């Protein structure tokens, strides 16, 4: 007998919309959620087990197409050993020497439940079961066999007559050109590892729009890359160069597809961070979410807008929704640490930073926000240690380096802080970048007039950090000065 989804002894795998997996007691299996390739392997086995066993050779071709047969076989064995450690030995069972299947009395998968209902002619399905299979999960260095399988299952899961379900966004098919398709998927993957892999993301997505110029999501993805290259999180391009390119790419996507939620989201982000037009940005975010309420990045970036406006409760709900939809995305995970830091909850920021570091110990954002939270509560030396880690992990990214200069000042190491400040003064004057970063170091050093001068430079260069002027704890030494309130008014950030 197939176990029901209500059986408390069954492991529950959710892959329609928000991805999740929990054991029979409801405990999330975070170790597996941190391994998207292995999670996808389990999904394939769960779905294919409806028909019977799945051959090892097919799995090797899907997930390790570029590896030699011996290496692919080793990778599969290691993946299966990991899954059995996490799930128990009875969930994935051998069928002879060359095939595998899932024991469906021990693992329940919502995609399997939906396919079974479709096959039985069910007419009404819960809303969650109409969500996209493995939404937001992207795998690097996989072959066409995986992409074809995923597309085929999505088509099967969408096999209801239009009048049987409420209207919902139709996801555009990926480009037919395999090189364009791979470039788009790889570009999206590299973007989730920004800014370390932003250059790779840019190269891939420029190739994607060149090979598939009529594919709107590729233009929207390119807009996302430019948005973040010019924003506070990277600073790789001057805002005056990056944001207009982002807006042009988003406009192209909307010309191709006015219902592209990703393009509306990209445009909203640029509108908020470059033009400081808060009402227009909020309208665009609402339009994106009306088109596709399951688009995680719209919730994520809407949370940024809400934080900038001091609407922390709404922002937290938006951030949690983004995390629910994409629990494996490092940026969306660490976003909550960013939120708690700006909301002046240092303990929660440190806790979320640790939780994110558990997903990827090589990522620089968790120590960055841990350091910012430590600095906020006066733990200067711990903050310096954290920012040194962030600089090392990011290979000296400028944003991490500026953060180190700030925490040096908090820790009263003024000599080191001023050494970093000199670097950013030069960058401000020669490259039209990093004026805001220089301002926060000046503020921490007690150089108030100099800090305001650099904030004026940040306004002139449209720094992406300026959107958060009203909430940034690093600028607290300036808040009692009338010049600060005047800046808030100029940016439209005054409340009351």
Within a domain: 4? yes
Same domain, 99 and 188: no
Same domain, yes or no: 107 and 205 = no
pLDDT number for residue 245: 97
Contacts by 337-342, CB closer than 8 A, 24 or more apart: 337/365, 337/366, 337/369, 337/370, 337/373, 338/369, 339/303, 339/307, 339/312, 339/315, 340/373, 341/369, 341/372, 341/373, 341/376, 341/473, 342/307, 342/312, 342/468, 342/471, 342/472, 342/473
Residue 398 lies in a domain: no
Residue 387 contacts residue 379 (beta carbons within 8 Å): no
Query: If DSSP states are collapsed to H, E and C, what string results for 303-333?
Result: HHHHHHCCCHHHHHHHHHHHHHHCCCCHHHH
CATH number, position 239: 1.25.40.10
Q: Which of 293, 314, 346 is the last residue of a domain?
A: 293
Domain closes at, from 260, 277, 293: 293
Q: What is the mean pLDDT of the chain?
A: 88
* pLDDT value at 326 more than 90: no
| 179 touches 218 (CB < 8 A) | no
Which has more confidence, 349 or 165? Answer: 349
DSSP structural state of residue 257: -
C-alpha 113/C-alpha 4 separation (Å) is 9
- Of 119-123, 285-289, 348-352, 415-419, the poorest mean pLDDT is in 119-123
Q: What is the sign of the dihedral through the CA atoms of 465, 469, 472 and 476?
A: positive
pLDDT, one tens digit per residue, over 199-241 is 999 999 999 999 999 999 999 999 999 999 988 887 788 899 9
Q: List the domain range (segments joined by +) for residue 221.
A: 178-293
Kindly report each contact of residues 436-440 with a partner whose C-beta sits within 8 Å and lies 24 or more positions away, as own/partner.
Answer: 436/232, 436/463, 436/465, 436/466, 437/235, 437/398, 437/399, 437/402, 437/405, 437/406, 437/465, 438/402, 439/475, 440/402, 440/406, 440/472, 440/474, 440/475
Band of the pLDDT at 159, cuts 50, 70, 90?
low
Residue 106 shares a structural domain with residue 183: no
What pLDDT score was predicted for residue 150? 87
DSSP notation for 338-395: HHHHHTT-HHHHHHHHHHHHHH-TT-SHHHHHHHHHHHHTT-HHHHHHHHHHHHHHTT
- Angstrom CA distances, 477 to 8, 105, 127, 165, 383, stand at 54, 61, 49, 55, 18
Average pLDDT over residues 143-165: 69
Residue 6: pLDDT above 50?
no
Buried b vs exposed e over 63-93: b needs ≥16 C-beta within 10 Å?
bbeeeeeeebeebbeebbeebeebbeeebbe
The answer on 102 and 199 residing in a single domain is no
User: Do both 2 and 95 map to the same domain?
Assistant: yes
CA-to-CA distance for 469 and 416, rounded, in angstroms? 25
Q: Over pLDDT 90: what percentage of the chain?
A: 58
> Do 112 and 214 belong together in one domain?
no
Average pLDDT over residues 291-312: 94
Cite the beta strand spans of 103-201 per DSSP E: 107-109
Q: Say if residue 472's pLDDT is above 50.
A: yes
Mean pLDDT of 423-446: 90
Continuous segment of H or E residues that includes residue 490: helix 482-490
- Residue 218's pLDDT is what? 95
Three-state SS at 92: strand
SS (HEC) of 100-130: EEECCCCEEEHHHHHHHHHHCCCCCCCHHHH
Q: Does residue 203 belong to any structural domain of this protein?
A: yes
Q: For residue 130, is it within any domain?
A: no
- Predicted confidence at residue 139, as pLDDT, reads 84
Domain boundary among 75, 99, 120: 120
Q: Is residue 90 part of a domain?
A: yes
Q: Which residues contact 243 (CB under 8 A, 6 or more apart)?
A: 226, 227, 230, 270, 273, 274, 462
Question: 348-406: per-residue pLDDT in tens?
Answer: 999 999 999 988 888 999 999 999 999 999 999 999 999 999 999 988 888 999 999 99
Residue 354 placed within a domain? no
Is residue 316 situated within a structural domain?
no
Q: How confident is the model at residue 5 (pLDDT cuts 50, 70, 90)?
A: very low
pLDDT for res 367: 96
Band of residue 167 on the pLDDT scale cut at 50, 70, 90: very low
Checking if the pLDDT of 169 tops 60, the result is no
111 shares a domain with 214: no
In a domain, 461, yes or no: no
Are 98 and 185 in the same domain? no
- Give the pLDDT confidence of 88-144 residue by residue, as tens digits: 999 999 887 788 989 888 999 999 988 887 766 654 444 444 578 888 788 877 877
The pLDDT tens digits for 43-91 are 999 998 887 788 888 898 888 887 887 888 899 999 999 999 999 999 9
- Give me the pLDDT at residue 108, please: 92
The pLDDT score that the predictor gives to residue 168 is: 41
pLDDT at 8: 53
pLDDT at 235 (0 to 100): 76
- Tell me how many domains the chain contains: 2
Residue 485 has pLDDT above 80, yes or no: yes
- What the block records as the tokens of 31 is 């170790």
| Rounded Cα distance, 225 and 342, in Å | 24
The CATH number of whichever domain residue 46 belongs to comes to 1.10.10
Say whether both 86 and 183 belong to one domain. Answer: no
């Amino acid at each position: 007998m197939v176990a029901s989804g209500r059986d408390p002894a069954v492991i529950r795998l959710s892959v329609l919309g928000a991805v999740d997996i929990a054991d029979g007691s409801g405990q999330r299996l975070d170790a597996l959620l941190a391994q998207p390739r292995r999670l996808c392997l389990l999904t394939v086995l769960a779905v294919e087990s409806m028909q019977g066993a799945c051959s090892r050779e097919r799995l090797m071709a899907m997930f390790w197409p570029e590896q030699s047969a011996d290496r692919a076989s080793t990778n599969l064995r290691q993946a299966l050993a990991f899954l059995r450690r996490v799930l128990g030995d009875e969930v994935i069972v051998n069928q002879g020497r060359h095939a595998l299947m899932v024991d469906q009395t021990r693992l329940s998968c919502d995609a399997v439940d939906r396919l079974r209902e479709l096959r039985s002619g069910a007419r009404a399905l819960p809303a969650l079961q109409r969500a996209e299979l493995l939404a937001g999960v992207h795998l690097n260095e996989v072959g066409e066999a995986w992409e074809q399988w995923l597309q085929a299952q999505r088509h099967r899961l969408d096999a209801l007559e239009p009048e049987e379900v409420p209207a919902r966004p139709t996801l555009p098919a990926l480009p037919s050109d395999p090189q364009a398709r791979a470039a788009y998927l790889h570009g999206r993957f590299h973007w989730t590892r920004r800014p370390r892999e932003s250059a790779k993301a840019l190269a891939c997505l420029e190739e994607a729009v060149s090979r598939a110029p009529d594919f709107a999501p590729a233009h929207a993805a390119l807009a996302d890359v430019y948005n973040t290259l010019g924003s506070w999180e990277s600073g790789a391009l001057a805002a005056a160069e990056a944001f207009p390119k982002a807006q042009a790419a988003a406009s192209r996507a909307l010309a191709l597809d006015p219902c592209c939620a990703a393009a509306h989201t990209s445009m909203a982000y640029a509108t908020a961070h470059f033009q400081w037009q808060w009402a227009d940005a909020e309208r665009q975010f609402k339009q994106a979410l009306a088109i596709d309420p399951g688009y995680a990045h719209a919730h994520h970036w809407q949370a940024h807008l809400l934080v900038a406006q001091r609407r922390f409760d709404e922002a937290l709900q938006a951030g949690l929704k983004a995390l629910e939809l994409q629990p494996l995305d490092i940026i969306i995970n660490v976003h909550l640490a960013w939120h708690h830091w700006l909301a002046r909850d240092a303990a929660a920021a440190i806790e979320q930073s640790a939780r994110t570091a558990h997903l990827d110990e090589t990522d620089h954002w968790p120590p960055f926000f841990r350091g910012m939270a430590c600095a906020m509560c006066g733990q200067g030396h711990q903050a310096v240690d954290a920012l040194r880690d962030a600089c090392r992990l990011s290979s000296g990214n400028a944003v991490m380096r500026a953060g180190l200069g700030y925490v040096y000042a908090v820790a009263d190491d003024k000599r080191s802080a001023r050494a970093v400040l000199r670097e950013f003064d030069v960058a401000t004057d020669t490259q039209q970048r990093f004026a805001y970063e220089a301002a926060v170091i000046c503020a921490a050093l007690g150089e108030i007039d100099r800090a305001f001068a650099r904030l004026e430079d940040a306004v002139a260069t449209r720094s992406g950090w300026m959107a958060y002027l009203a909430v940034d704890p690093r600028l607290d030494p300036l808040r009692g000065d009338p010049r600060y309130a005047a800046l808030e008014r100029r940016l439209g950030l005054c409340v009351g």
